[in-house]
Amino acid sequence: MPKSLLPEPIVTAAEIAALKDSAIYAEKAAGLSRNRMRFTVRILVVGGLMTAEKLRAAATLANRYGNGTLHLTTRQGFEIPHVPYQKLPLLRKALEKSPLESARSGKCVRAIVACPGTYCKFGTIDTQGLADALFKKFGKRKNLPHKFKIAVAGCRHCCSKPQINDLGIMGSARGFEISVGGMSGKSPRWGDKLPIPAKNKTELLRLIKLIIDWYAVHGNDKERFGAAIDRISFPRFLEDIQTVS
Ligand code: SF4
């Protein structure tokens, strides 16, 4: 049979799912042909901060493997769109050798978003330093019921939208105000505010660990944190984290 009449090899659903676990997302396509499918490769950014060196590396990868563009995600991340399937292995190798890291994907703590409260004139806390510290401490938490998003804001203007994150932190004169169970998406939910703020960073880290542990134990598979709180009740959640604190 002439080569042109042979069916084109396709990208299988299993391959697409495995790529998604590595923060590589299939783009919309007319079919699953390996020659035609394009992917978006997401890069980790914590607290919205990128060094000039990382930006140069991302630009090089976008030029070499994508179509020379980079997209900024709504959660302060970078992604390289329109990467052909055949170029993915080379891009992944190049990414490993670069100062960049792949974004987090799946049922885990995702990249942490922060406003520039560190130097914004309204900022009451070091938002970017805190985002970095939180990611270092909790960024490896996996096997949660669903994704877990954290945002840090330096003051009550809440530019980083902590109330629509699974865990939101807002700096205030009282300390670190915390909201839980927020989300955007198809069924948006405003986070519930904890009655008492964390007085200092040590207390904040301790509380966040308790909160994530609670979700890991009580959340059902594929249930967002806010939905778990609604099912079990916010007073009960508060009771539970106070009981173990
Ligand atoms: S939330 Fe407050 S500190 Fe952060 S950028 Fe907005 S105004 Fe500045």
DSSP per residue, 136-159: HHHTT----SS-B-EEEESSTT-T
Substitution site in 119, 125, 157 for ligand 1 pocket (most atoms within 8 Å of beta carbon): 157
193-205 average pLDDT score: 96
Which of the listed residues 115, 161, 169 should we mutate to test ligand 1's pocket, taking the one with most ligand atoms within 8 A of CB?
115
229-233: Cβ within 8 A, 24+ apart: 229/180, 229/181, 229/192, 230/181, 230/189
Closest approach atom of ligand 1 to CA 123: 3
pLDDT at 1 over 70: no
Residues with CB under 6 Å of ligand 1 are 115-117, 120, 122-123, 153-155, 157-159
Which amino acid belongs to residue 215?
A: Y
Per-residue confidence at 32, pLDDT binned at 50, 70, 90? confident
* Mutational pocket test of ligand 1: of 121, 122, 164, the residue with most ligand atoms within 8 Å of the beta carbon: 122
Give residue 224 CA to ligand 1 midpoint distance, Å: 27
| pLDDT tens string 153-170 | 999 999 999 999 999 999
Beta-carbon contacts of 174 under 8 Å, excluding residues fewer than 6 positions away, are 197
For residue 153, the tally of other CB atoms under 10 A from its CB is 29
Residue 235 C-alpha to ligand 1 middle, in angstroms?
30
The fraction of the chain above a pLDDT of 90, given in percent, is 90
Domain 3-97 has CATH 2.40.50.140: no
> How many whole angstroms separate alpha carbon 156 and alpha carbon 138?
24
**Please, what sign has the CA dihedral across residues 173, 179, 185, 187?**
negative
Q: How far is the CA of 153 from the centre of ligand 1 (A)?
A: 6
Q: Cβ-count burial of 105 within 10 angstroms (0-12 exposed, 13-18 middle, 19+ buried)?
A: middle
3.40.50.300, 3.30.565.10, 3.30.413.10, 1.20.1050.10: CATH of 113-243:
3.30.413.10
User: Where do the structural domains in the chain lie, given as residue ranges?
Assistant: 3-97, 113-243
